[in-house]
Structure 1
Amino acid sequence: MTAKPWRVLALLPLDEELVRGLFAQFGDAVELAFPPTRDRAGLHAALADAELVVGDFTGQLGLDADAVAAAPKLAFVQMPSVGTDSVDGAALAAAGVPLSNTAGANARAVAEWAVGAAFALCRQLTWGDRAVRERGWPQAELLARGTREIHSQRVGIVGFGAIGAEAARLFGALGCEVSYWTRRRRAEAAATYRELDDLLAHSDILVVALPLTDETRGLLGPERLALLPDRALLVNVARGGIVPDDAVLAALESGRLAGAALDVFDQEPPPADHPLRGNENVLLSPHVAGGTGQSQLTIVSMVLDNVRAVVEGRPAADVVNGVDPLPKRR
């Protein structure tokens, strides 16, 4: 390892002693720092000396272009997540700084959540639970809401990265007819490729599993949701901005959507009085589809492995912004 310690800035919203314990394995090769305050001013102050940043998976301390400009010594950014939409990857690329994520770390966890949510929507599980807790016994009412067996549903998956591919495999194992759309057709996919509008028209259950980018923001707005079959179901494990909250509400109110399972929202958390919170046809989740013990251990391991690679002068894995994966100190 290099004699000069790497100045590592940890933006993780975790207990400082826990983070220090995770990085203790690097000994004198790493000098660990934390922002003095968890706000923009504290972030910019800490970035002045940072060479390697481990990002904030909540997005609270996002690295926008101004933050990148405030980090003249920055050589590498590691996000402890698959999504990197809270980081300006282009600004980092312009500065010659590679940005890595933890690709595939929580694919199984998120795919299982998507399948579980689809089961809950098909069988009205959350609605029935609420009714019984309120001392009801709504057998006939629950059936009248349109319960269905999942194997009879046509599943469309928007996005076919690690999460989409795993979700397709799991839905296929249940006997569903599975189709997918992605910007790059996959020859090896165990599902049928359809163009996006055609996919929507043939999806009783629509699963959204692609990253939020300038190209995908608002991709599934009111016009596209109107292409779904009547009484379709929506499962969003991607980002709220891809399927805007207002569009989801309008589709629910029109009956185009019979239900939605949302792990993500335009604003997180959504306002306390947000109408989605009061809609009985929506299953709400606080952006934790990937949050299992197994996936968290995998993410920590991948982050530490990449930090070790950089500290030892080796290329980083899973660089997503097109920069040379071998970080260069300034």
Structure 2
Amino acid sequence: MTAPWRILSLPPIGREVVRGMFEPLGDAAEVVFPQTGDRAGLLAALPSADIVIADFARGFVLDAEAVAAARRLSFVQMPAVGVDRLDLAALTAAGVPVANAAGFNARGVAEWVLGAALALCRNLAWGDRAVRAGGWPQTEMGGRNPRELHDQRVGVVGFGAIGQETARLFAALGCTVSYWTRRRRPGAAATYRELDDLMATSDILVVALPLTDGTRGLIGPERLALLPAGALLVNVARGGIAPDDAVLGALDSGRLAGAALDVFDREPLPPDHPLRSHEEVLLSPHTAGASVQSQLNLIAAVRDNVTAAVQGRDVQNIVNGVKPQVIRR
């Protein structure tokens, strides 16, 4: 009798949720979890794992040391879009296919971007704080340059599933939408612009691309300085693409009139970080995609891909170029 596939599930997905996802596999799979919530617990659990459902919350990192410890590892499923918590080079060298959950939260993140842009355009968070503090800033609100969204030029940096859905929602409200990505998309429902041109022509800049060696610091001080005076920034990508210090500098100079940030260089954002007290910043704890619908999509994507691996079918959304048929070691 063939031994069951050993599926190691890392936090933060709840144990009962994971067990329920793979109950239909019966004796073909065994779901296990680290015995302790530290690095030692991860390294102890990896040698017997055939499949790993990775950690998207920055607790357990699959770096080169962890990959070397996972001698039986045949497949890694990231329950997120970003894979910056994995050593892709080490996994690729070991012949381990890595998949993400591309597109699971595209609508949820795009709606958050739209809501954040509306909040910035109309100073909603500032007005809320002022009224809660006992004020009635009716005149001041009118003096804070409120603007209607449809009249804004929107630039989207990154045109994957999230970028495309973001562009579609803004266009539906009458905005002029342009985009930049490393590979131009024929037939895109937005205008392609080179990155510096996009920066110079965007009243609202949306950052929605993965963090890689090539994108780290991509939207730094020099590029932020290209924005029209009084532009708005919405970042739902990863911290480090538009570094926090660069964003603060652009806010203080007036180049940026406001920013809505779901991601930061360091997470959690330190309690004394100046972004926490900046009047023109809307803050969010990396939860732009955390809708009920997106969580259901995520569970389905992870369940279906890991089930395909166990049953010998090709997996979807491979991100490291390894063949999508999972071969057990």
Q: Normalised by the shorter chain, which TM-score bucket?
A: over 0.9
1:105 partnered with 2:98: no
Matches of 2:19 and 2:299, distance apart in 1: 13
Which residue pairs with 2:243 in the alignment?
A: 244
Preserved CA contact (<8 Å) 2:157 2:206:
yes
Q: How does 1:28-47 map to 2 (within 5 A)?
A: 28-47=27-46
Q: How is 1:149-160 mapped onto 2 (pairs within 5 angstroms)?
A: 149-160=148-159
Report what 1:17 is aligned to.
Answer: 16
Q: Structure 1 residue 13: deviation in Å?
A: 1.5
Partner of 1:280: 279
Residue aligning to 1:292: 291
Do structure 1's residue 49 and structure 2's residue 48 form an aligned pair? yes
- What is the deviation of 1:36? 1.3
Residues 70-85 of structure 1 mapped to structure 2, 5 A cutoff: 70-85=69-84
Tell me how far apart the structure 2 counterparts of residues 219 and 27 of structure 1 sit (CA, whole Å).
47
- Residue 59 (structure 1) shift: 2.3
Matches within 5 A, 1:127-206: 127-206=126-205
Aligned position for 1:96: 95
C-alpha contact (below 8 Å) 2:22/2:307 kept by paired residues? no
Cα deviation for residue 21 of structure 1 reads 2.5
Residue 269 of structure 1 aligns with an amino acid whose one-letter code is P
Query: Could you tell me which amino acid in structure 2 is paired with residue 168 of structure 1?
Result: A
Matched residue, 1:224:
223
Aligned twin of 1:67: 66
Count of equivalent residues: 329
What secondary structure is seen at the aligned counterpart in 2 of 1:258? Answer: strand
Q: Equivalents in 2 of 1:19, 1:167: separation in Å?
A: 31
Contact 2:201 2:227 in 1 (8 A): yes
Q: Give the CA deviation at 1:153.
A: 0.5
The letter of the residue matching 2:36 is T
Q: CA deviation at 1:5?
A: 0.4
TM-fit CA distance, 1:60: 1.4
2:328 pairs with 1:326 = no
Paired with 1:273 and 1:28, the residues of 2 have a C-alpha distance of: 51
8 Å CA contact 2:233, 2:258 repeated in 1: yes
Q: How many Å separate the matches in 1 of 2:290 and 2:268?
A: 16
**Does the 8 A contact of 2:260 with 2:283 survive in 1?**
yes
Per-residue deviation, 1:18: 3.2
CA-CA distance at 1:25 after TM superposition? 1.9
| Letter aligned with residue 72 of structure 1 | R
**Greater shift in the superposed pair: 36-45 or 13-22:** 13-22
What is the one-letter code of the residue matched to 2:187? E
Cα deviations by residue, 1:60-111 (Å, 9 ceiling, x for unpaired)? 1121111111101100000111111111111111000000011111101111
- Secondary structure at the residue paired with 2:325? coil
Normalising by structure 2, report the TM-score: 0.98
Q: CA RMSD in A?
A: 1.0
Residue 178 of structure 1 aligns to a residue whose secondary structure is: strand
Unaligned 5+ runs, structure 1: none
- Aligned-partner residue type, residue 218 of structure 2: L
Residue 115 of structure 1 and its aligned partner are, at CA, apart by 0.6
Q: Which amino acid aligns with 1:19?
A: V
Say yes or no: does 1:315 pair with 2:323: no
Q: CA deviation at 1:37?
A: 1.4
Partner residue in 2 for 1:122: 121
Residue 209 (1) aligns with residue 202 (2): no
The equivalent of 1:86 in structure 2 is 85
Deviation at 1:17, TM superposition (A): 2.9
Q: Residues 187-233 of structure 1: CA distance to partner in whole angstroms, max 9, x if unpaired?
A: 11111110000000000000001000110000000011000000100
Query: Which is worse superposed, 21-30 or 142-151?
Result: 21-30
Secondary structure, counterpart of 2:48 in structure 1? coil
